[in-house]
Chain A
Amino acid sequence: MKILMIGATGKFAGLVLPQLKKQAHHVTALVQDGNKGQQAITHGADEFVTGDLYDPVTLKKAAEGIDGIFHIIPAFNREVEAGLNMVIAAQEAGVSKFVSPASITLPCPYPTMRKSGQRKRHFTTLAWITPFYSLPCICRCCSKAGRPPKIAAKL
């Protein structure tokens, strides 16, 4: 498969790259600049493409001709925006697989309100592998309340 990978030079996500190569996938690393791209090549990526998770135009171009995407979202940095930009680009490009391990980076879709009126962030449990749009919340409060899966943000 032709895989577009986010985080190929990262401390944790970088561990995914050898696993993808072990299964003989062709891996294109999405990176912010050429220097990172060269690092990705050194780590085992077949090629790189420059893009920005907050720039949908670059993601649309990067997703062309891709079969599967490994996506990881920068923690505490406009997470929903970065996630949805990639999901939309993948959908428009007809990508068949979207794999996204997440730990603390996806906010609960059922935020509660504090007395101050501020939204309280809930954290979910360990890694998820999600298909398109299916972001069920499995955090403690939702499990306890028996809340059903819910789309984290409306497209």
Chain B
Amino acid sequence: MYMQMLQQSWQAAKDSGEIVMPYSKDSKMAYVDYREVAEAAALAMTDKRLSYGTFELASPGMFSRVDLAELMSKKLGKMIVAKDMPVDEWAKQVKIPPGELREGLITMNKEYDQYGFSGGNSLILDTILGRPSRTVQQFIDELQ
């Protein structure tokens, strides 16, 4: 999951005190800051260390929506609640026409609901960047 997607949850947390997604609030997800994916991709053009490689780019840890709500609660100084929206209900509400995109997103959210989204660990990204990768906590701390 890209950390940039947390910006929408952050806004919802500020506005309504709730963060809602169409998969279980207990599903653990791996995150990465896309700015660091971008940096790694640019490095891959010229850095021969990365030639012919396939790399998992993830920040440390995995976070459920409950975990995120806790982090956002601390930052905002008010209680943020993680809530669930059934995938089928989400599918009824979302305005995406029938087709590959709609079916793909429904399948993806069902996968997230059941298994979460594992992304390895931060060892590889830390190594490529030559510094510790940005954590979810740091990303949330930077949100306004």
A residues neighboring B (CB under 8 Å): 1, 3, 11-13, 15-16, 18-20, 22-23, 25, 68, 70, 75-78, 97, 99, 101, 103-104, 121, 123, 125-131, 134-136, 138, 140, 149
Contact = CB atoms under 8 A, between A and B. Distances in A.
B41 A99 contact: yes
Contacts of B37: 12, 15-16, 101, 127
B45 A25 contact: yes
B54 A129 contact: yes
A103 to B, nearest CB: 7
Given A68-B45, A126-B56, A131 B104 contact: no
Given A19-B39, A68-B45, A77-B100, A123 B55 contact: no
Given A76-B100, A121-B104, A130 B45 contact: no
- B30, B42, B58, B103 — which one has the most chain A CB atoms within 10 A of its CB? B42
B42 A12 contact: no
Contact of B56 (A99, A121, A125): A125
Interface string B103-144: 111011001000101111000000000000000000000000
